[in-house]
């Protein structure tokens, strides 16, 4: 009996509700994780007819609460009950014929529930794709086999029937009726007769109707590595062969050839018949990235957010069957059910999209770390601009640091000029592009180069503003200024999607004639077209790239030089590799810096360093102009010097002083409700309970707030938050487990804890 089936219902025994006592012996029981926000499992008896059908990882229907109400949950353990002193309810139904996930993934999801303070059932519900639960894209087929002990010489067989048996014995697997009829060159009637006589036996199985179409990709040889790449690869292979977990931070400047190192590390893992997962930010899942892996490996699965349920299920099955060598995908691909995972790589480790912003609010980097620890395989974090969390870990020697400080082919990082927008006449008059940048663009274009312009605000005018009262027009549901989208002639809320005709007069003071201010990408595009007539320009942001595939087409056109200027939001900031780009202009470096968030500085540095990395990628060289009104701010100055170490030093000192991560574990509770006063009062009550618990337990934890969240109103809901700053996660967890049991019930207010919060809005 596997270990996890023993000692069931010992400690931690739970029941759905108090129940009369009775002795139960020699019965089979199951523990079920329900989709509820508690750190608790529920115990049920398994009726005898279901005993062989139920395994951990399958969903069950169970009675829950009063009356005949049932709930669906995941069976996470089954086994003999032994002596139980309480009477239990019974599992009503087993939903899945086979487990949806294996024991290893059960352990991982259990850990996520504990680490992010949510229910195990909530985690399971979220990480197993809907298409897998629904068996999307499959059909039930009946398969034929020859009964035991029968061969083609059996005296009961006619000649035709003997042909059927022979065909089936020669096939190396059970066959469908139509396949069998084909193979035996007969009709269906001999098959039916044989089935009736018990000479053929049948069983049902689910088969995919779906075959993923993968266009032919020309195979390519691995590149000969440069010295720095070789050194990094050697160290990674040492770890791969070592059979112990290590997290390796591969700090390589943009263009240092990190991907080639990943590929050759995967090559080794694949040669053992094991699999690798490569996580990249969703926006980096471009055809270029995918082609790089498909051209090197025979079997690559790509998991992106546009997959249909059927496609997702198909890939999941193939991965679980061990047929896929490399899985490339965004955040949730960390849950790919690879049976013999040998390596996980997270590219662009600093990207905030690796944190999930709904329950379970996990960080893929931490989940990957845990999964790799459990499997004793390495985790590689690759980036030019590490997070300060990862940087601190290597400083403390918890993780291994590998550096690639030079670009391949020895090309230098591009020179960066900081332009003070307060001194620029054109910008003061309302232009987006200052004199220096315009001149730079003219020169670059004249020399046959291409230009990238980066502006992290979409729409036309970012604010509709009343000069009489100074108020801006806000979304009626959210506390957010509406953005004017001239192409659609609508004012849009970028938070909830609300759209409206712009008002004629100020909604606050009725003063007529509102002013449209602030520059978004659409206005920038208009300015570029006006100042560079006849130069083909393409805008990339989530408005212009709505259609599936338009993103890829725009990039292809730019790659082939059909468009000369590419402008857009952070969609174009990262990962792109275009040798002919000789100028990058940052229109307004201060958009991220202005965010009311202690991570604003780090985010600004990351973004600028990444944008700057888009040029100087060939012998043609390249340069970068950063327009800012704060030319002395450290993240801007350090990014301009490509000086991550310098930035990390300044910022870590600041974080330590302020008690922010990585020197603490900072979590956040977000309260939400339709009536502001109720939300505020609820937040206060919970804060009081937390503070009193801290006083009683003497824990070293600080509660900040409650305070209105930076976005006070979002989609009708008022929002308040409080921050919990603890030395480490364990301290926080202890507080949470004690305090949660005595939290008052709040009516009309819901709240969630976000452990290691990244988004503080």
Report the interface residues with ligand ADP, using CB under 6 A: 223-226, 229, 252, 254-260, 408, 577
Q: Name the packing angle between helices 729-740 and 676-697 (round to 10°).
A: 110
**CA separation for the pair 63, 15 (Å, rounded):** 11
Q: Rounded to whole angstroms, how far apart are CA atoms 262 and 222?
A: 11
From the CB of 477, what's the least distance to Zn ion, in Å?
Answer: 4
User: Quick one: DSSP state of residue 127?
Assistant: H
Contacts of 611 (CB under 8 A, 6+ apart): 452, 454, 573, 584, 586, 624
* Structure-token match 């794709």, residue found: 129
Interface with Zn ion, residue 712, by CB under 5 A: no
CB 174 within 8 A of CB 143: yes
Rounded CA gap, 35 and 119, in Å? Answer: 7
Residue 477 within binding range of Zn ion, rule CB under 5 A: yes
Nearest distance, CB of residue 295 and ligand ADP, angstroms: 11
Q: What does the alpha-carbon distance between residue 324 and residue 297 come to, in Å, rounded to a whole number?
A: 10
* Locus of tokens 């985790």: 379
Candidate ranges 191-199, 330-338, 493-501, 636-644; the one touching Zn ion (CB under 5 A): 493-501
Stretch that binds Zn ion, among 167-175, 227-235, 478-486, 601-609 (CB under 5 A): 478-486
CB of 384 to ligand ADP, least distance (A): 7
498-527 residues in contact with Zn ion (CB under 5 A) are 498
CB of 480 to Zn ion, least distance (A): 6
Q: Which is nearer to Zn ion, 398 or 500 (CB)?
A: 500
Using CB under 5 A as the criterion, what x/- string covers residues 457-476 for binding Zn ion? ------------------x-
Task: Between 262 and 718, name the residue whose CB sits nearer to ligand ADP.
Answer: 262
Q: Which is nearer to ligand ADP, 16 or 616 (CB)?
A: 616
Least distance to ligand ADP, CB of residue 348, Å: 9
Between 575 and 634, name the residue whose CB sits nearer to ligand ADP. Answer: 575
Query: Is position 493 an interface residue for Zn ion (rule: CB under 5 A)?
Result: yes
- Terminal-to-terminal C-alpha distance of the chain: 50
Pairing between β-strand 42-46 and β-strand 515-519 as defined by DSSP bridges: unpaired
Rounded least distance, CB 291 to Zn ion, Å: 39
| 123/709 with CB nearer Zn ion | 709
Give yes or no for residue 478 binding Zn ion (CB under 5 A): yes
| Smallest separation (angstroms) from ligand ADP to the CB of 639 | 16
- With tokens 């990262």, the residue in question is 574
Residue 475, contacted partner among ligand ADP, Zn ion, none, CB below 5-8 A by kind: Zn ion
Please report how close the Cβ of residue 617 comes to ligand ADP at its closest, in angstroms.
7
When the beta carbons of 453 and 478 are compared against Zn ion, the nearer one is 478
From the list ligand ADP, Zn ion, none, partner contacted by residue 58 (C-beta under 5 to 8 A by kind): none
Shortest approach of ligand ADP to residue 224 CB, angstroms? 6
727 binds Zn ion (CB under 5 A): no
> Residue 701, CB half-sphere, CA atoms under 13 Å: how many?
30
Instruction: Enter the tokens of residue 397.
Output: 């020697």
What tokens were used for 744?
Answer: 């008052």
Judged by DSSP in three states, 401 sits in strand
Q: Quick one: the chain helix, strand, coil %, rounded to 5?
A: 35, 25, 40
Residue 254's binding partner out of ligand ADP, Zn ion, none, with CB under 5 to 8 Å set by partner kind: ligand ADP
Look at strands 341-347 and 400-404 and give their pairing: unpaired
Are 422 and 629 contacting, i.e. CB atoms less than 8 angstroms apart?
Answer: yes
Angstrom distance (rounded) from CA 319 to CA 321: 5
Beta-carbon count within 10 A of 287 CB: 16
Cβ distance to ligand ADP smaller for residue 259 or 310: 259
Determine, following the binding rule CB under 5 A, whether residue 491 of this chain makes contact with Zn ion: no
Closer by beta carbon to ligand ADP, 165 or else 408: 408
The contact set with Zn ion (CB under 5 A) reads 475, 477-478, 493, 495-496, 498
């Amino acid at each position: 009996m596997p270990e996890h089936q023993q000692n069931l219902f010992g400690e931690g025994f739970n029941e759905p509700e108090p129940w009369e006592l009775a002795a139960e012996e020699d019965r089979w029981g199951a523990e079920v994780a329900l989709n509820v926000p508690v750190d608790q499992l529920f115990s049920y008896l398994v009726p005898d007819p279901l005993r062989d059908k139920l395994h951990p990882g399958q969903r069950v229907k169970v009675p829950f609460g009063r009356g005949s109400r049932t709930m669906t949950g995941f069976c996470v353990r089954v086994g003999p009950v032994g002596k139980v002193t309480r009477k239990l309810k019974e599992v009503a139904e087993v939903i899945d014929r086979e487990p949806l996930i294996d024991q290893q993934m059960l352990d991982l999801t259990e850990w996520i529930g504990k680490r992010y303070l949510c229910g195990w059932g909530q985690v399971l519900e979220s990480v197993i794709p809907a298409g897998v639960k629904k068996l999307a894209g499959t059909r039930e087929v009946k398969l034929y086999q020859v009964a035991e002990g029968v061969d083609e010489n059996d005296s009961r067989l006619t000649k035709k029937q003997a042909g059927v048996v022979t065909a089936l014995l020669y096939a190396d697997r059970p066959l469908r009726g139509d396949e069998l009829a084909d193979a035996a060159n007969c009709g269906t009637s001999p098959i039916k007769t044989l089935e009736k006589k018990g000479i053929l036996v049948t069983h049902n199985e689910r088969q995919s109707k779906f075959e993923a179409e993968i266009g032919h990709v020309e195979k390519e040889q691995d590149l000969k590595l440069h010295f720095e790449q070789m050194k990094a690869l050697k160290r990674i292979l040492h770890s791969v062969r070592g059979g112990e977990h290590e997290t390796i931070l591969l700090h390589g400047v943009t263009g240092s050839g990190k991907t080639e190192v990943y590929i050759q590390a995967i090559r080794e893992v694949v040669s053992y018949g094991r699999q690798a997962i490569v996580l990249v930010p969703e926006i980096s899942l471009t055809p270029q990235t995918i082609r790089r892996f498909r051209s090197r490996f025979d079997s690559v699965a790509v998991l992106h957010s546009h997959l249909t349920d059927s496609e997702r299920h198909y890939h999941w099955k193939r991965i679980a069957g061990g047929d896929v060598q490399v899985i490339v995908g965004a955040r949730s691909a960390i849950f790919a059910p690879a049976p013999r995972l040998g390596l996980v790589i997270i590219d662009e480790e600093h990207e905030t999209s690796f944190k999930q912003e709904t329950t379970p609010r996990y960080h893929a980097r931490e989940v990957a770390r845990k999964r790799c620890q459990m499997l004793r395989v390495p985790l590689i974090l690759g980036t030019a601009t590490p997070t300060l969390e990862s940087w601190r870990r290597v400083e403390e020697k918890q993780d291994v640091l590998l550096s690639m400080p030079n670009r391949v082919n020895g090309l230098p990082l591009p020179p960066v000029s900081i332009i003070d927008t307060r001194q620029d006449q054109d910008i003061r008059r309302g232009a987006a592009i200052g004199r220096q940048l315009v001149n730079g663009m003219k020169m670059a274009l004249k020399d046959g180069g291409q230009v990238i312009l980066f502006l992290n605000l979409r729409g036309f005018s970012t604010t509709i503003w009343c000069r009489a009262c100074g108020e801006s027009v806000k979304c009626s549901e959210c506390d957010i200024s509406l953005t004017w989208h001239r192409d659609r002639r609508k004012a849009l809320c970028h938070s909830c999607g609300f759209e409206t005709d712009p008002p004629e007069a100020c909604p606050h003071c009725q003063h007529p004639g509102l002013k449209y201010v602030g520059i978004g990408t659409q206005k920038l595009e208009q300015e570029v077209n006006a100042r560079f007539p006849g130069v083909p320009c393409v805008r990339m942001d989530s408005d212009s790239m709505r259609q599936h595939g338009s993103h890829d087409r725009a990039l292809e056109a730019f790659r082939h030089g059909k468009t000369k200027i590419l402008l857009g939001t952070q969609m174009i900031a990262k990962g792109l590799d275009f040798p002919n780009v000789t100028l990058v202009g940052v229109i307004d470096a201060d958009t991220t810096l202005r965010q009311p968030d202690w991570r604003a500085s780090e985010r600004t540095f990351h973004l600028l360093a990444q944008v700057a990395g888009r040029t100087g990628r060939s012998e043609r060289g390249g340069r970068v102009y950063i327009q800012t009104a704060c030319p002395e701010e450290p993240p801007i100055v350090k990014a301009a010097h490509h000086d991550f170490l310098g930035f990390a030093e300044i910022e870590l000192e600041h974080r330590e002083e302020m008690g922010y991560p990585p020197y603490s574990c900072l979590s956040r509770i977000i309260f939400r409700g339709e009536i502001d006063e109720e939300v505020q009062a609820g937040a206060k009550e919970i804060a009081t309970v937390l503070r009193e618990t801290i006083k009683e337990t003497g824990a070293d934890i600080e509660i900040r707030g409650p305070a209105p969240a930076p976005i006070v109103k979002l989609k009708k809901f008022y929002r308040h938050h409080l921050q919990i700053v603890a030395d480490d996660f364990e301290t926080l967890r202890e507080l949470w487990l004690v305090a949660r049991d005595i939290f008052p019930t709040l009516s009309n207010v819901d709240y969630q804890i976000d452990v290691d919060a990244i988004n503080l809005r």
